[in-house]
Amino acid sequence: MTASLPHVAHEHREHLLHQIDRMPQTGDMVGTASPAELRQRIDETYAFLTEVLIPHIAAAEHELYPELERMLQSVHSMAPLRREHDEVRRSTTELARIREHLGDQQISIGQAIALRRVIFRLYALLKVHLAEEQAYLGILERRELPEMADALAAAMAHPGSPEA
């Protein structure tokens, strides 16, 4: 038997929040930190997004959302969360584009504005999104059979998750 769904969901959420909660500090580093420090932090943020968060999104869309739609008897009930996932993917692509042009020198005002905008947009979106997912996970915890909860908990153990 795998770890319980509440345990896995809590561990997973805490792991994601640890990185997400660093994003405002990263945004505040724009224009104040050395180019090397900023580049390192942007690289860490990008790695989190692509290696941890995007796999989390894929796992949720593939494993959790269909089950929630079944339980809620609505194939469109998860559409707002899926749209937010699309925005996370677009913003991650935008961050990658900006990241490509970061060099060893101070960034331009335009680059600084674009970088801060994408970092803080992602931060705000992800904080709200995880709170929404937490509410839906509460529904699963209360209504699902133990074997389904075990299967969903196992599905959350994707690359980058604390249980993987």
134-to-14, 63, 64, 143, 153 alpha-carbon distances in Å: 11, 15, 12, 14, 14
Using a cut of 0.85, tell me whether the model's pTM lies above it: no
Could you tell me the end-to-end alpha-carbon distance of the chain, in angstroms, rounded to an integer? 15
For 61-112, how does the pLDDT look when each residue is reduced to its tens digit (9 = 90+)?
Answer: 887 788 778 777 777 778 888 999 999 999 999 999 999 988 888 889 999 9
**28-32, 91-95, 126-130, 140-144: range with lowest mean pLDDT:** 140-144
SS3 content of the chain, % helix, strand, coil (to 5): 80, 0, 20
What residues have CB less than 8 Å from 123, skipping those under 6 apart?
20, 23, 24, 27
CA dist., res. 109 & res. 112, Å (int): 5
